[in-house]
C-alpha cells in the first residue's frame, strides 16, 4: 500500500494514527465508516486506526473529507451522547 505521511490525532479521548493513501495506492475499494459509502478504487483517501490497536486488523479506510468531518459523520454516536435523560 502506497502511503504518504503519517500523523496522530485525538478523537473522543483516543489517539488515532492517520495515513494518507495515494490514488495509485488505492488498489481496492473500501467502505468508509464515516458515510457508509464506497471509497472507490483509485481515490486518494485516509487509512486510520487507533494508536493502541493494530494497523492490520483495526484500520479503516475513510474519505479524507469524512475523517475531517467525523464528528458530524457519526450520527449514531452523537445521538446517544446527546440523548435526553428521563
- Contacting residues for 29 by C-beta, under 8 A, at least 6 apart: 38, 39, 40, 41
Q: In angstroms, what CA-CA distances link 73 with 10, 39, 57, 69, 80?
A: 16, 15, 22, 6, 14
Residue 35 binds to Zn ion (criterion: CB under 5 A) = yes
Contact 40, 32 (CB under 8 A): no
Judged by CB under 5 A, the residue of 17, 26, 48, 66 near Zn ion is 66
Our finding on whether 61 is near Zn ion (CB under 5 A) is no
User: Does 16 help bind Zn ion (rule: CB under 5 A)?
Assistant: no
- Binding residue for Zn ion, selected from 32, 46, 47, 48, defined by CB under 5 A: 32
Q: Please work out the total of residues on this chain that contact Zn ion, with binding judged by CB under 5 A.
A: 5
Select the span of 8-16, 23-31, 48-56, 58-66 touching Zn ion (CB under 5 A).
Answer: 58-66
CA distance 53 to 15: 10
The residues that touch Zn ion, with contacts defined as CB under 5 A, are 32, 34-35, 63, 66
Amino acid at each position: 500500500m502506497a502511503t504518504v505521511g503519517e500523523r496522530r490525532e485525538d478523537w473522543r479521548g483516543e489517539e488515532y494514527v492517520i495515513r494518507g493513501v495515494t490514488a495509485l495506492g488505492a488498489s481496492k475499494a473500501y467502505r468508509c465508516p464515516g458515510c457508509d459509502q464506497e471509497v472507490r478504487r483509485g481515490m486518494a483517501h485516509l487509512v486510520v486506526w487507533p494508536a493502541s490497536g493494530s494497523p492490520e486488523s483495526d484500520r479503516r479506510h475513510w474519505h479524507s473529507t469524512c475523517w475531517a468531518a467525523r464528528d458530524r459523520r457519526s450520527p449514531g454516536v452523537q445521538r446517544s451522547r446527546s440523548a435526553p435523560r428521563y
